[in-house]
Amino acid sequence: MHHYPIKLPLRIDWSEMDLFGHVNNVAYFKYIQASRVNYWEQSALDSMFKENKIGPILLSASCKFIKPLHYPGNILLETGIEFIKNTSFGMHHRILNEHNEIAAEAHDVIVTFDFDKNEKVLVPDHFRNTVEKIEGRKFTIIP
């Protein structure tokens, strides 16, 4: 069972509609990006980059579209960490519509990256510790 400790409410914008009257699939990825960055800010991963140029880089992102979204409307994004490996971690997102129904589910794999050296690095212990506090659980390091 997934855990979603970080929540982000957003309003659907009219510009996100497509020719068929529902939110275009590209907008879902924008919502997921907003949720991803929100988690990074909550976990201080963004400040780590400002301090020493080590930060997250997106390796992969996938989305399963379950229900269409429409304008006008509001959504709730829920995000949690699925796993932490040596140099990467996984995020799971849910997009809920105004009726609290799952409109989409997404999965990201993020690599911790040294932007000065242009190489991946170990997931920092302080990030892992912060995530464990946010998530309310311990993560076993997966090789």
pTM, two decimals, is 0.91
Is the confidence at residue 119, as pLDDT, over 90? yes
| 53: three-class secondary structure by DSSP | coil
Domain 6-135 part of CATH 3.30.1330.200: no
Is the confidence at residue 66, as pLDDT, over 80? yes
Which pLDDT value is given to residue 97? 97
For the segment 5-32, the average pLDDT, to the nearest whole number, is 94
Query: Among residues of the chain, what percentage have pLDDT more than 70?
Result: 99
For the segment 119-139, the average pLDDT, to the nearest whole number, is 93
Domain ranges for the chain, please list them: 6-135
Query: How far is residue 57's CA from residue 110's CA, in Å, rounded to a whole number?
Result: 6
For the segment 64-74, the average pLDDT, to the nearest whole number, is 96
Asked if residues 132 and 95 have their Cβ atoms less than 8 Å apart, the reply is: no
Q: How confident is the model at residue 19 (pLDDT cuts 50, 70, 90)?
A: confident
Which residues, including other chains, have CB under 8 Å from residue 128's CB and lie 6 or more apart?
84, 139
Percent helix / strand / coil, the chain, rounded to 5: 30, 40, 30
Q: What is the pLDDT of residues 41-65, one digit of tens each?
A: 998 887 888 888 999 999 999 999 9
- Give me the amino acid identity at 135: E
Query: How far is residue 143's CA from residue 5's CA, in Å, rounded to a whole number?
Result: 25
Asked if residues 131 and 123 have their Cβ atoms less than 8 Å apart, the reply is: no
Is the confidence at residue 140, as pLDDT, over 90? no
Is the confidence at residue 1, as pLDDT, over 70? no
Whole-number average pLDDT of the chain = 93
